[in-house]
Structure 1
Amino acid sequence: MAPNKDNLFGSKKEASLVKSNQLDSTVKEILASEQMNRERKTARLRELRLEKEALQPPPEPKAKAKRKTTKAQE
């Protein structure tokens, strides 16, 4: 093949595809790391909440409110 502009420098279509693929992979890596951090934080907070709830005494049952009866009007 004879050297030409596309052989030596690559086409603009290929360059844009390579760049978009790099961007896609970078974004996917960032999103995956954020998801992992979010799940780790959620698990840690869940454990702390469960520990806190286990240390608290069970709530006392609430007494039911007595209903007021009204006289029927005639």
Structure 2
Amino acid sequence: MTPPNKDSLFGSKRQAPTDKANQLDSAVKEILASEHAIRERKTARLRELRLEKEALQSPPEPKTKSKRKAPKKSGTAETESDE
């Protein structure tokens, strides 16, 4: 067993800023890649379920256009007084 010293108790020397940045960058890329993979799997699963549901349903009936009614006239224009 090695005797305790400054390095074994408090860790080794400080990392160079570029090494620390590279380590952080790789960790972030791993996290983003895993999240992207999870999102893609979920999207594919939901797409398959939606397509299955649409295949089981009967096609929607065509909508008939309703006739437009004439807009109602408001009586405010006739009751305005001249000042």
**TM-score between both structures, scaled by the size of structure 2:** 0.62
Corresponding position of 1:66: 67
Structure 1, 59-68 or 16-25: larger mean CA deviation: 59-68
Q: After the TM superposition, which residues 41-60 of structure 1 pair with which residues of structure 2 at under 5 Å, given as runs? A: 41-60=42-61
Larger Rg: 2
Instruction: Tell me, in whole angstroms, the C-alpha distance in 2 between the residues paired with 1:68 and 1:16.
Output: 73
Return 5+ residue gaps in structure 2 as ranges.
Answer: 1-11, 71-83
Tell me how far 1:50 sits from its aligned partner. Answer: 0.5
Deviation at 1:67, TM superposition (A): 4.2
Aligned residue type for 1:61:
P
Pick 1 or 2: higher relative contact order, CA cutoff 8 A, min separation 6.
1
Distance 1:64 1:18 in 2: 68
**Unmatched tracts of structure 1, length 5 or more:** 1-8, 70-74
Distance 1:64 1:17 in 2: 67
Per the alignment, residue 35 of structure 2 pairs with 34
Deviation string 1:20-65 (CA, Å, 9 cap, x unpaired) is: 1000000001001101110110010000001001111111111222
* RMSD value, Cα: 2.2
